[in-house]
Amino acid sequence: MRKPLMAGNWKMYKTAPETRAFFQTFALLVTQSGHCEIVICPTFPNLAAAAEATQGTRIEIGAQDMYWAKEGAFTGEVSGPMLLAVGAKWVLVGHSERRQYFGETNQTVLKRTVAALEYGLKPIVCVGEKLEERESGRTEALLAEQFREGIAQLSSEQFAKIVIAYEPVWAIGTGRTATPEIAADAHRFLRSLVASDYGQDAAAAVRILYGGSVKPDNVKILMAQPDIDGVLVGGASLDPAGFACIVNF
Ligand code: PGA
């Protein structure tokens, strides 16, 4: 059985004091949430505060991005070993905002994922189509391309350690959630790609999260889809009570 993974992506929100205040409330609301894994991804400067605030809880901390080199003359970048050293266990890779604003490609997604695994971080690799791709009937072609170029180059051993997040770009931050049917179709399609490249066992084992305007009032119907194994939540993960509702769907 795939254990649900409920992840929050804080994007460029919250200071360190706001981070600590969030966990003071949130940690108490999820003490009984053994049905799932919980991951929060704050900004780089707040990883240490988040890791400290969640010590002794079941909440794990992730970064929103990382560079693939171990260290070096790469001004502004942050490496896997640095993330580990401040207590991060997870890392988002290839979020659509990284692809849209910061030049992320399927090739750099692959490099980051391989590096994250090498340093012992657990990557959540994001894929998803834009509105024009959906409207022109190219959703599956686009997902297949992101999968083949950005993920399917991993060995079976590497693949077994990643989580995939399906986030249709048109549903992110727009209040426009994919219907459970649209999300379920995309998840089924992604799982079929996994089956053809890595086999049935890998397809049955890999967790595929849904992301895009997940809220307390739509999480239940999304999580009721057999191929949806968790959620990646932006806006609604910033509020402790709201995100606890999502976690405890
Ligand atoms: P949203 O963002 O929940 O605010 O739509 C999701 C994401 O970007 O991961």
249 residues of the chain, pLDDT tens digit each: 899 999 999 999 999 999 999 999 999 999 999 999 999 999 999 999 999 999 999 999 999 999 999 999 999 999 999 999 999 999 999 999 999 999 999 999 999 999 999 999 999 999 999 999 999 999 999 999 999 999 999 999 999 999 999 999 999 988 888 899 999 999 999 999 999 999 999 999 999 999 999 999 999 999 999 999 999 999 999 999 999 999 999
Burial label, 17 (beta-carbon count in 10 A; 0-12, 13-18, 19+): exposed
Local structure of 104: helix, strand or coil: coil
- Rounded to the nearest angstrom, the gap between the alpha carbon of residue 48 and the centroid of all alpha carbons in its chain is 19
Q: Whose CA is nearest to atom 9 of ligand 1?
A: 234
Which domains does the chain carry? 5-247 (3.20.20.70)
Statement: the pTM of the whole predicted model exceeds 0.85: yes
| Protein residues whose CB sits closer than 6 Å to any atom of ligand 1 | 9, 167, 172-173, 211-214, 232-236
Cα–Cα nearest to 153, from 123, 198, 213? 198
Burial label, 1 (beta-carbon count in 10 A; 0-12, 13-18, 19+): exposed
* pLDDT value for 176: 86
Distance 232 CA to ligand 1 centre (A): 7
Please give the positions annotated as active site: 95, 167
Give backbone dihedrals phi and psi of 191, rounded to 5 degrees, phi first.
-65, -30
Q: Among 12, 214, 219, 246, which residue has the most ligand 1 atoms within 8 Å of its CB, making it the best to mutate?
A: 214
CA atoms of 48 and 86, how far apart (whole Å): 5
| Contact call for residues 44 and 86 (beta carbons, < 8 A) | no
Beta-strand runs (E) in 42-102: 59-63, 90-93
- Whose tokens are 């992730």? That residue is 62
